Amino acid sequence: MHLMFKFLASIYAPALFIGIGLSIVGCAQVMAYEGKEEPFQESAFFEDGRSARPLEPGTVARGQMQEDELFYTGQVAGEVVDLFPAPVTREILERGQERYNIFCSPCHGQVGDGQGMIVQRGFKQPPSFHIDRLREAPAGYYFDVITQGFGVMASYASRVPPEDRWAIIAYVRALQLSQNATPADAPAGELDKLQETE
């Protein structure tokens, strides 16, 4: 009986596999040649003769969400720039401080000196934001570093949305000013108040 089963299997198995293969190929051919409507082609399906419906108001086509090059890349015409995509307000600075304290201060420190808790635990120290090279770096440079990562710093693109990246950069600029300001940088009224308290 066992030999008979092997004999029958050796005869019918190849035929079975060939039959399954032909049926799959046949289905693929039918699907490949089904009728379809091309974009902007006339059609009798809808009363207005169109083959597709108009876009709903407020919809955005795939790939057109990120048309603001400055906001999404920190660049203009492919060049890194020292511009912000929107005015920097107190609310943006407060949001930047909150996000900085969560995502950046563990390595960069509370004041941006590169002495965060991670560094104190023995990990590699990032450069201070207060060195000349980083004080003079354009805002778009910081956006690129947060987005792409740099050196041992990983990309934060998946964790920090673009608007929060800009808020963090605004706060970094405030930190840089706080550690490198001169009396000439203070508004006239504020400078008078400071001199009164001395």
Q: What is the CA radius of gyration of the chain?
A: 31
Residues 46-55: what's their mean pLDDT?
81
CATH node for 69-181: 1.10.760.10
What percent of the chain is predicted at pLDDT more than 90?
54
**Domain segments of the chain as ranges:** 69-181
- Report the pLDDT value the prediction gives residue 33, as an integer from 0 to 100: 64
- Report the pLDDT value the prediction gives residue 158, as an integer from 0 to 100: 95
pLDDT digits (tens, 9 = 90+) for 38-48: 777 788 878 88
User: Which tops the pLDDT comparison, 60 or 96?
Assistant: 96
**Residue 140 contacts by C-beta under 8 Å, 6 or more apart in sequence?**
70, 73, 74, 75, 80, 81, 82, 83
The H or E element containing residue 44 is: none
- What is the pTM assigned to this prediction? 0.66
Residue 69 dihedral angles phi and psi, to the nearest 5°: -60, -45
Q: How far apart are CA 54 and CA 40, in angstroms?
A: 10
